[in-house]
Every structure is written in structure tokens, then in C-alpha cells.
Amino acid sequence: MKTVVQRVARAEVRAGGEVVGRIARGLVLLVGVEKGDGETDADATARKVAALRIFPGRTPMDLTVAAAGGACLAISQFTLCATLAKGNRPSFEPAEEPGRAEALYLRVAAALRAGGLAVETGRFGADMAVELVNDGPVTFVLTVRGGRLVESSA
């Protein structure tokens, strides 16, 4: 499971011209579900996101999203699963089939909610427009496999 985590001053997502999710300060999560991902990956992703200390407090990276009074906007992003190795057209072969991908993406959102966070979502499978103000800018990429963080980058 790959997740792009962006610290934002505000963000919203529209589908069909309608706002379907909106947050003020918090995190935008672009969640890509790959073949082989499971519930343990979704749960580990949510735990890591909730525990990230990436909001300013006594230091520039001190507080979690909850401690900062923020919320999360989770958006399904299957293009994160693309392979660009061959030719110039992305291959989405690594992406999970839609039914399973939706269930795991929604599990990430549900796990964050269960941890006490306010969570908005996009509309799975829809053509969406995301508008955000990246705060910092602060952006990280989390990759979880087998229920464990295997890669993170900025």
C-alpha cells in the first residue's frame, strides 16, 4: 500500500462538481492499493499516519495531526500503483482490483476514525478534482507491505 501524506492548511475534493470532502488544517492522504495488500497493511498505514509527528509545536516536526487539532482527507489514488518502467504509457497492472481496493482504502479511513480523528473521503472510482494548500510544503510517501513500513521518503 502506497500513501502520499501531505500536511495542508486546507483541502477539498470534488466529484462531478460537488464537494464530497473538505478539511481545514490536517493531512491529505492519497492512498494507492496494490495487489497483495491486505487488512494488516491498511491498519498499519492508519497507525503510522496517526502517529506521524509532522506538525509544528516546540519544534517544526513535533505534533501529530490529532495533537495539532487537524483532520484527514483520504482520497483513493490508484495511479500511485503504476509502473513506468516500460515505454511511455503507465501500466496499472500492480493496482488491486476495484472492489478489494475500495474496501482497503475505506479501512484506512475507518481505522483513522476509530483512533479519534475526523476523516473526510473522496468518492472511490470517480473523476475527482483535489484542491489543497500544502503547508510547508511537507510531503511524505509511505509504503507498507506485510503490515510493516518498508519505505518512506520525502
Q: Is 140 a catalytic residue?
A: no
Question: Which residue of the set 3, 6, 45, 77 is catalytic?
Answer: 77
Per-residue cell: 69: 487539532
Cα separation values, 76 from 30, 63, 108, 123, Å: 6, 25, 10, 8
Pairing between β-strand 119-121 and β-strand 128-145 as defined by DSSP bridges: unpaired
The residue type found at 64 is T
Q: What sections of the chain are H helices per DSSP? A: 39-51, 98-114
Provide the angle, in degrees to the nearest 10, between the axes of the packed helices 98-114 and 39-51.
40
Q: Is 40 a catalytic residue?
A: no
Quote the CA–CA distance of 45 and 48 in Å, as a whole number: 5
Terminal Cα distance for the chain, rounded: 16
Question: Which residue of the set 6, 78, 121, 143 is catalytic?
Answer: 78
- Identify whether the C-beta of residue 123 lies closer than 8 Å to the C-beta of residue 14: no
Question: Which residue of the set 79, 83, 92, 139 is catalytic?
Answer: 79
Q: Is 77 a catalytic residue?
A: yes
Residues with a catalytic annotation lie at 77-79
